[in-house]
Structure 1
Amino acid sequence: MKRRVVIGVLGTVLDKRGKRQNRFRKWRPTVGLCQQPGFPVDRLELLHQPRDEGLAQQAAEDIEQLSPQTEVCKHAITINDPWDFEEVYAAFLDFATHYPFDTDNEEYLVHITTGTHVAQICWFLLTEARYLPASLLQTSPAAKGATDEVIAAGVCSVIDLDLSRYATLTSRFQREQQQSVSFLKSGIDTRNATFNRLIDQIERVALRSSAPILLTGPTGAGKSFLAKRIFQLRQSRHLVAGRLVAVNCATLRGDNAMSTLFGHVKGAFTGAQQARTGLLREADGGVLFLDEIAELGLDEQAMLLKAIEEKTFFPFGSDKEVHSDFQLIAGTHRDMQQWVDEGCFREDLFARINMWTFDLPGLAQRREDIAPNIEYELQRFGLEQQMQIRFDKGAREHYLAFACSPHAAWRGNFRELSTSIARMATLAEQGRISDALVDEEIQRLEHHWRGTPVQSDIPLDVSTLDLFDQRQLETVIAVCRRSQTLSEAGRELFAVSRQKKANPNDADRLRKYLARFGLSWESLRGAT
């Protein structure tokens, strides 16, 4: 059985009742909670003001006498004004943040009887927000006429309160939420409004739902990185006890796919000399990240659907079901609805993982975020290599102007930007990236992108296209030039096909079509 751990504050009034031996006939909440029949307390984490050290020591000694199996750990915490919500909340939050919770082996309860009303409310709020992976414990005096022993112990009960009534105390929560959003972005001061709204929503979903999350977007847009940060955020709030298990489904083929995901028994296929657990069982209690989930075979998709819905599945070659309860985060660069329409992905599985779908934009759609990401990559490189790297002023302006220009393809998105910064930082002499290094890197990127369509302000020579493509492109250009926004043009052009999509992204679809011909929305609007 798990050890029972109670967290509470010393009551400077109720815990002080009685003198000498008389105190053992009085109800003192902190002492009494360790005297409950059939409710042993293995450890008491007792918070108190430094000035109340004597009273805390007396309570600890009395508990040792009355309940020898209870370990008392005293924590002196300074709170200048115990009626100041922000100060009390901050003190309790600091305690919860640094406390080494072990939910696998211990159960936690928060004693809310002692302390000011402010302290009690703060305990409520921290427990509701899962900063404390605990239940609430209330103690009270025994009924009249009870024996001295029962009077001294009092009674206790585990309670489940509706904490929504305290929603007016939101300012601190808002700050905590902003910190969570910043955590998902690794502290990068992103400026793209669409992306910031997206991350804000992901943060709320990550903390409120354990349903599958689907991250879509081009290769290098940051799906794997974001999946890891979502897991770490949930882990920091004690919402997952297991670990993050990740695999790129594009690397799985045939028997290896079944075995890797679901495990196998010995002798299940040629070469299966030992049994294998499988990633789904390894993710029990944690998060399973399946990158490029669209590349899974149909058989694996069917088994995955059962595992998500029923939390059970059969290892390859076994007739005995196993259990695994995990949260799924999936990633793909595919158009999933199109993949379903073409019969490459099961419609029922897509429906199951499509509750929370977030489409991450590529670097070309977030050019205003290039500058803060450059600084982030420089800092990350410096930390890894234990050295400081900086741009010369002119070199930084030169590189940034190129990186943000329509001529920069960035087909590898943020992963390619990271690689570019790492190359220059590695070659930098005395930690300085010079103009010469920037020129060399730009030439390297342009050579790499040679033949890749990029956004261009140069009008397209339609005479090089087939007549069919010419007429189609002329129609698209005409609609773009009379529309006020890219989304408006997309809705008109894809009016029929968009109805078949659960989450149509007309703007992205149109942008990709124009890029095939080296055109951009900005260049077309500028030509009107």
Structure 2
Amino acid sequence: MRPTTVIGFLGSTLDASKRDASRWNKWRPTIGLCMQPDLRVDRLILLHGRQHESLAGFITEDIASVSPETQVEPVLINFDDAWDFEEVYAELLDFVRDFTFEPEAEDYLVHITTGTHVAQICLFLLTEARFIPGKLLQTQPQRGKPDPTGVWNAIDLDLSRYDRIAKRFAEGSRASTSFLKGGIDTRSTAFNTMIDEIEQVATRSSAPLLLMGPTGAGKSLLAKRIYELKAERHRLAGPFVEVNCATLKGDNAMAALFGHTKGAFTGAVTERAGLLRSAHRGMLFLDEIGELGLDEQAMILRAVEDKRFLPVGSDREVESDFQLIAGTNRNLVDAAAKGEFREDLFARLNLWTFSLPGLAERREDIEPNLDYELERFALAEDTRVTFNKEARASYLAFATAPHASWNGNFRDLSASITRMATLSPDGRIDTATVEAEIDRLRALWKSSESDAGIGLLAEVLGQDQLEELDPFDRAQLGEVIATCRRNNSLSAAGRELFVSSRRRRKSTNDADRLRKYLARFDLAWADLK
């Protein structure tokens, strides 16, 4: 058996007694734990104050008489105020940091029956946080008879060992992740894994979060649900404050974010608190943070790190303690490299970064989101609308096909479902309605892809090389690059691009075919990702 070390406070009241033979008729917790027939205490770390040194010596002698194998080590820990939580915790933290623990060689029990309630709480917290690598030990007297031994019980704070508790925690975690997903039974493995991680971060950390992803991927909605989850767990008490940084320009950006004094500039007829102060004790969601100017970024960094900042026109700092969630559809790594985004702010935001995939990357989630959007329409319009069987199959076949680009992501899907539901006054979306909506989406995407395609080509090739391309090559290459961007591998992109012609060939090597096409323009797969 491995040796057992017990750490506990001397009970200045419970361990005290008359120093005669009558003391052996009384239960004294520190003496009793060393008298247990089924608990061997090899070493007892006896914590006590200076005023109880005499009692500590007396208890040590009694332990030697009933348990000579127990080595008692009195340790002086003196508190100015034993009921001051901050002082007691700090002193005990210093003690355990200096103590040499060898959990591989011996077992540790933390006796929490003695000491003030504050000391017991502190020992519990230090054990729960694994500063003390052991179990809690409780002792109590035998009921109904005078017995100096009493009984004992050990509590292991590793909650995973307790089946019912572990089950409740798992159920709570599942409920939280379901809430973050809006109750949608999403099927994308990568997305579900990301939401599981966000749930853990949201319930355990107050550090900033960075949500990256294309417009319409759901960053704003997810940020609001993270706030609601934290508020439900009592980790936030203030409001949710959201701002789209793309709407903040010039002096208005500083004033809107940090507030201003009366008369700070022309038109400042009254004092303004600003968004950061409004978010005190709550959450601030800065959507499209990449659109902020460098000066605003510097002040945001100071506000996040120090919880202090200067309103416009003021010479006195104000305080605001908020949690920050930032959203962006820009590549902040590239922006920082170009000097368009502060590297120090990006480093501060990059502790917890989550990239939300677009709808085209989560085609398996289109069907459950379709049902979710129908429920939203029913709540908003007090009218329940459903698809007939053929119409639903037709719409899903189109929506999940590789050529469905979903440029606006979930906003496109939401708008599409709303249009079809609105145009179905009898409560049933039929095939004619679906066909008309498919034509509408194709026209919408063709127009937006034409504009986006030119920007995409300029980004990949550069403006000079773009101008050298014929219009024919621009259209074709733009489609190829867009397809590569939304696929995870060269082979997957090739399968989507050559889906029709590959059916007519006996052997296919779509990846090689695509690689050779890109090489005509001095491009490689890595250049596009």
* TM-score bracket for this pair, using the shorter chain length: 0.5 to 0.7
Matched pairs, number? 342
In structure 1, the gaps of 5 or more residues are 1-138, 143-153, 455-463, 491-506
| Structure-2 residue corresponding to 1:301 | 297
Whole-angstrom CA distance in 2 between matches of 1:520 and 1:272 = 61
The equivalent residue for 1:235 is: 231
**Kept in 2: contact 1:140–1:156 (CA 8 A):** no
Contact 1:246/1:290 (8 A) holds in 2: yes
Inter-partner Cα distance in structure 1 for 2:167 and 2:255: 49
Q: How many angstroms does 1:166 deviate by?
A: 3.0
| Whole-Å separation in 1 of the counterparts to 2:501 and 2:209 | 36
**Do residues 261 (structure 1) and 223 (structure 2) align?**
no
2:389 to 386, 390, 393: 393
Q: Does 1:201 align with 2:201?
A: no
1:16-31 equivalences under 5 Å are none
Once the two structures are TM-superposed, the CA of residue 167 in structure 1 deviates from its matched residue by 3.4
Per-residue Cα deviation, 1:177-214 (whole angstroms, up to 9, x for no partner): 11111110011111111111111111111111111100
1:68-105 CA-partner distances (Å, limit 9, x unpaired): xxxxxxxxxxxxxxxxxxxxxxxxxxxxxxxxxxxxxx
- 3-state DSSP of counterpart to 2:199: helix
Give, in angstroms, the shift of residue 465 of structure 1.
8.4
Residue number in structure 1 paired with 2:179: 183
Aligned to 2:312, which of 308, 316, 321? 316
8 Å contact kept, 2:186–2:365: yes
- Provide the rounded CA distance (Å) in 2 between the counterparts of 1:178 and 1:399: 31
Is contact 2:373–2:417 with CA below 8 Å preserved after alignment?
yes
Contact conserved, 2:242 with 2:286, CA < 8 A, in 1?
yes
- 2:280–2:322 CA contact under 8 A, matched in 1: yes
- What is the rounded CA distance, in whole Å, between the counterparts of 2:420 and 2:490 in structure 1? 40
Show the counterpart of 1:101: none
Determine the C-alpha separation between the residues in 2 that align with 1:354 and 1:388.
43
Q: 1:332 pairs with 323, 328, 334, which one?
A: 328
* 3-state SS of paired residue (2:161): coil
Contact 2:395 2:434 in 1 (8 A): yes
Cα pair distance change 1:526/1:436, threshold 3 Å = farther
User: 377, 389, 393: which one pairs with 1:381?
Assistant: 377
TM-score, normalised to structure 1's length?
0.59
SS at match of 1:379: helix
Deviations 1:359-395 (A, max 9, x none): 0000110001000000000011101111211001111
Q: 1:212 aligns with which of 205, 208, 211?
A: 208
The 2-side partners of 1:200 and 1:520 are apart by: 36
- Whole-angstrom distance in 2 between the partners of 1:316 and 1:342: 28
Following TM superposition, by how much is the alpha carbon of 1:232 offset from its aligned partner in structure 2, in angstroms?
A: 0.7
CA 1:197–1:258: 2 relative to 1, 3 Å: same
Distance 1:465 1:445 in 2: 32
**Equivalent residue, structure 2, for 1:353:** 349
Matched residue, 1:364: 360
Residues 180 and 442 of structure 1, relative CA distance in 2, 3 Å threshold: same
Tell me the C-alpha RMSD between the 2 structures.
3.6
1:53 maps to which residue? none
Aligned to 1:166: 159
User: What secondary structure, in the 3-state scheme, does the structure 2 residue paired with 1:250 have?
Assistant: helix
Distance 1:156 1:434, change over 3 A: same
Letter in 2 for 1:186: G
Secondary structure of residue in 2 paired with 1:187 = coil
SS in 1 for 2:262: coil
Mapped to 2, the partners of 1:255 and 1:158 lie a distance apart of: 55
CA contact (8 A) 2:361 2:487 kept: no
Partner of 2:439: 443
| Aligned equivalents of 1:200, 1:280: Cα separation in 2 | 29
Q: 1:461-505 deviations in whole A, cap 9, x for unaligned?
A: xxx9849x98xx99xx9xx99xxx975769xxxxxxxxxxxxxxx
- Give the AA of the match of 1:378: L
Q: Could you tell me which residue of structure 1 aligns to residue 267 of structure 2?
A: 271
Write the letter of the residue equivalent to 1:159.
I
Compare 223-232 and 518-527 and name the one that shifted more: 518-527
Q: 1:221 aligned to 2:229?
A: no
C-alpha separation in 2, matches of 1:435 and 1:350: 49
Q: What is the one-letter code of the residue matched to 1:229?
A: R
In structure 2, the residue corresponding to 1:188 is in which secondary structure? coil
Query: What is the identity, as a one-letter code, of the residue corresponding to 1:251?
Result: T
d(CA) in 1 for partners of 2:498 and 2:258?
A: 45
Post-superposition offset of 1:269: 0.8
Letter in 1 for 2:121: I
SS of residue matched to 2:210: strand
Return closer, same or farther for 1:351/1:520 CA change in 2, 3 Å cut-off. Answer: farther
- In structure 2, the CA distance between the partners of 1:488 and 1:389, relative to structure 1 (3 Å rule), is closer
Superposed displacement of residue 523, structure 1 = 9.2
Q: How does 1:413-428 map to 2 (within 5 A)?
A: 413-428=409-424
Larger radius of gyration: 2
**8 Å Cα contact 2:238/2:280 also seen in 1:** yes
Alpha-carbon separation, structure 2, partners of 1:270 and 1:369: 51
Measure, in 2, the Cα distance between the counterparts of 1:188 and 1:384: 18
| Corresponding residue number in structure 2 for 1:284 | 280
For the 8 Å contact 2:114–2:120, the answer to whether it is kept is no
Compared CA separation, residues 448 and 519, structure 1 to 2 (3 A): same
User: 1:486·1:521 contact (CA, 8 Å) conserved in 2?
Assistant: no
Q: Structure 1 526/488 Cα, relative in aligned 2: closer, same or farther at 3 Å?
A: closer
Distance in structure 2 (CA, Å) of the matches to 1:439 and 1:342:
46
- Going from structure 1 to structure 2, the CA distance change for 1:357 and 1:253 (only over 3 Å counts) comes to same
Aligned equivalents of 1:218 and 1:295: distance in 2? 14
Structure 2 alignment gaps of length 5 or more: 1-111, 129-156, 451-466, 503-507, 514-529
CA distance in 2, matches of 1:436, 1:155: 73
Calculate percent identity across the aligned residue pairs.
54
What CA deviation, in whole Å up to 9, does each residue of 1:312-370 have, x standing for no partner?
Answer: 00001111000011110000000111111111101110001111000000011000100
Deviations 1:105-163 (A, max 9, x none): xxxxxxxxxxxxxxxxxxxxxxxxxxxxxxxxxx9899xxxxxxxxxxx9887724234
Closer, same or farther in 2 for the Cα pair 1:488/1:398, shift >3 Å?
closer
Shift of 1:443: 1.1
